[in-house]
């Protein structure tokens, strides 16, 4: 009985954790900056590991297109939690870089995709060093 109660408590606790892997349509509904940041890291951390690859698979390009779309949506949403003009400028920079990633994915351009990923990672680091 005790194990059953523990299992129920754990499953309830896990159900309360916000889902970080959200769709483009779900992102505008987020109400906390931390949740938007969680979505961004969930989406981009696996993609950042691919920076510098000489080539990418069709699955990689599909993931880049999806990540680009979600990062564009989350960069717009970030402005709801503005920390000033510099913060907003970095959010828009990330938005533009995410569009570049999506465009590179659509063209299956490995060099442009890698450059966009590197630029996005740099923008994330820059923003975190100033505003985190």
Task: Say if CB 126 and CB 90 are below 8 A apart.
Answer: yes
Task: Say if CB 69 and CB 102 are below 8 A apart.
Answer: yes
- For residue 63, CA distances in Å to 22, 87, 108, 128 come to 14, 27, 12, 24
Q: What is the pLDDT of residues 14-52, one digit of tens each?
A: 444 445 889 999 999 999 999 999 999 999 999 999 999
Single pTM value for the model: 0.83
14 belongs to a structural domain: no
Total domains in the fold of the chain = 1
* 107: CATH: 1.20.120.10
126 belongs to a structural domain: yes
């Amino acid at each position: 009985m005790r194990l059953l109660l523990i299992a129920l408590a754990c499953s309830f606790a896990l159900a309360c954790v916000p889902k970080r892997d959200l769709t483009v349509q779900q992102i505008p509904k987020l109400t906390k900056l931390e949740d938007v940041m969680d979505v961004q890291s969930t989406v981009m951390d696996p993609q950042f590991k691919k920076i510098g690859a000489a080539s990418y698979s069709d699955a990689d390009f599909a993931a880049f297109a999806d990540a680009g779309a979600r990062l564009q949506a989350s960069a717009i949403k970030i402005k709801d939690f503005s920390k000033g003009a510099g913060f907003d400028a970095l959010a828009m920079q990330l938005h533009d870089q995410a569009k570049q990633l999506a465009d590179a994915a659509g063209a299956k351009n490995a060099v442009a995709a890698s450059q966009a990923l590197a630029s996005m990672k740099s923008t994330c680091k820059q923003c975190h060093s100033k505003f985190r």
